[in-house]
Chain A
């Protein structure tokens, strides 16, 4: 669409504007990368370049300053934990949201509008206020200090959004298509699998990606509900560095680990933006 496209001399203006808008965000990430490969930073300029920080963490062990035996949990273990958390959250979210979304979209049953209203109200509600009670509930369920507990909490709090999105997508699949499949002799399940699902693939991808990123970046619930260091996720490891002086003593290693942690985020950013934006449109707001 031609919206007063600026070109020529004002092209410079455009460039300037774009740069001013983009730099505050982007520069920090470049800085992160820079730190991870510098020997020492003299102010904002690195003194030299090196790969030693990356080499040091290849075996996954990060020694803790001052102790001879005690170490931070192994990076590979931490990566595994984070991955499991993200995958479980994504998987559960997709399955449960699609089930609920489909039924809310297609079926008529008593309580449907009540549930719809509930979901609409809940999706703007900040789940973080329930932290204390959630802690209590998890304790009672015996899920204290487990990744599963965090997974369940995360899924539950993301569900209203997920259901709303999937319902929207199912709404967009016309009933006629499904009906003709049923008429042609498909069972209900068959129609669902063969006709409906392919059309909501976008929605499924969106929820999957959103769920994965949500679980990957999870911090506050993991921090509150997990005590055992063997279950640490990347977010808690980086937090340990931030508050535990490591980022002061050894910024190179800290930066390398933070970059490792950001890999899926960067990947998704580069290749799956349209799904992300779809989600964010209806997204839960907020900082």
Chain B
């Protein structure tokens, strides 16, 4: 009936075959024991655990291999002058890394530290430097170590750009940090924590041309006692204007007084001298003293328009043509500047060391009235560590490097070349530093100095001050108008960060 001669394949046979296969498969599938779901899960877990272990093992092996071959840790540092002689703010890291690498090699550790980054010097100024930093940070390419002015700490800390360093400092406290001048630690505090390591500090003296004073008829003794007189409050800001006016009227100089040509912090000294304060540590707010500002604006205005000793466009000039040039060439009598300018002048070849000693004198900035206190300002620069460095895991190494460059041996290279002041007491007797007569000469100024506040909104206060002073000098505003402008602008922009006192 169905089967034909054996061996011949019929359609029927094929169909039966297929059907049989299908049936068999179905039965087999249905009848096969199912795995216990719980067990299966556990098996899966073990599986992934094993995988994870394998991965970890691979990683560790790789790391060990890498260590055998030697690995490189790269730290990126950004530092700024803008004065060119301050290049060691950056270079010191290279020197420190070199020594560290020698130590590591001798210890048999197969790690090398490499330093990358840039030193920014004029014509790059603070504005551009800061802009570059924030741009880089946004792009995820911020440096690990970022040198900046201490006043930036407020903004940087409040907005998560840098990390607090209390623990790090404590770990290395006994190495060198115990020896830092205590006031410097004040400049890196914000919200009760320390956010940076001081890099250097300076003082801002009033320079004067001794040769011009001689021509005015001053005796050698009078000239040499001028710094003393200023210190004692015998020579005031108004005396300064008088003497400058004399010199200008006598045709000895073109400008009585030159000061910085861009926004900065020097001119705040005058406000301090007139009794103003910048910061109230009790309330944590910045302070605006209306009387003091009124007097300051008035002084600047009179200096330009009554005494004729400051050029109306002094705030928009060119560093060389309107600041370094006139003073070093003897065409200005007084210069309100910083101690690093001495290094700048000598390194640029504008004056020789002998010439400097011969014709340049320096003192604190005078008090505003007889018997008052003279003033100066310090603007410590500080090293910060960015949050991106912490995310990359190089924060500890970065801090180690910072500690190394803070040692007197390294810091003095910078201090001497660029004429900045020591940060540690032991640094004062460090050979290179001790040999520099100028730095020890001006060290006394630190007793009379002030800092600008660490407040996130400091930038706005500073900008308003600069605009007002500039307007008063160019004659765009009268002192009253300028004071009005400052008050209204600050009240509208940062009413909560500033308090007004009479």
Contacts and interface: CB of A to CB of B under 8 A. Distances in A.
A249 B84 CA distance: 15
A184 interface: no
Interface residues of A, number: 23
B473 interface: no
A144 B119 CA distance: 19
B123 interface: yes
Contacts of B132: 227
B252 interface: no
Nearest to B344: A66
Interface in A59-78: 64-70
Interface residues of B, number: 31
A144 B343 CA distance: 36
A237 to B, nearest CB: 10
A144 B85 CA distance: 29
B87 interface: yes
Query: B-side binding surface: helix, strand, loop or mixed?
Result: helix
A229 B84 CA distance: 15
A20 to B, nearest CB: 32
Given A66-B83, A66-B84, A66-B85, A145 B136 contact: yes
A68 to B, nearest CB: 7
Contacts of B119: 70
A272 B84 CA distance: 43
Contact of A244 (B87, B122, B344): B122
B355 interface: no
B136 A227 contact: yes
A181 B6 CA distance: 73
A227 B136 CA distance: 9
Interface string B116-152: 0011011110001001100110110100000000000
A49 interface: no
A145 B85 contact: no
A248 B320 contact: yes
Contact of B121 (A64, A227, A243, A248): A64
Contacts of A111: none
Interface string B77-90: 00000011101000
A56 to B, nearest CB: 15
A145 B128 CA distance: 13
Nearest to A67: B84
Contacts of B136: 144-145, 227
Contacts of B135: 135, 139, 144-145, 227
A240 interface: yes
Q: Find the residue from A67, A135, A245 having the highest chain B CB count within 10 A.
A: A67
A54 interface: no
A142 interface: yes
What are the 6 tightest A-B residue pairs by CB atom distance, in nearest-first order? Answer: A244-B123, A66-B84, A67-B84, A227-B132, A245-B320, A144-B139
17 contacts: A64-B84, A64-B121, A65-B347, A66-B83, A66-B84, A67-B347, A69-B91, A70-B119, A139-B135, A139-B139, A144-B138, A227-B135, A245-B123, A245-B319, A248-B321, A249-B320, A249-B348
Given A66-B84, A139-B135, A245-B123, 11 more contacts: A66-B348, A67-B85, A67-B347, A142-B139, A227-B128, A227-B136, A240-B124, A241-B123, A244-B123, A245-B319, A245-B320
Interface of B: 83-85, 87, 91, 118-119, 121-124, 128, 131-132, 135-136, 138-139, 141, 318-321, 324-325, 343-344, 347-349, 417
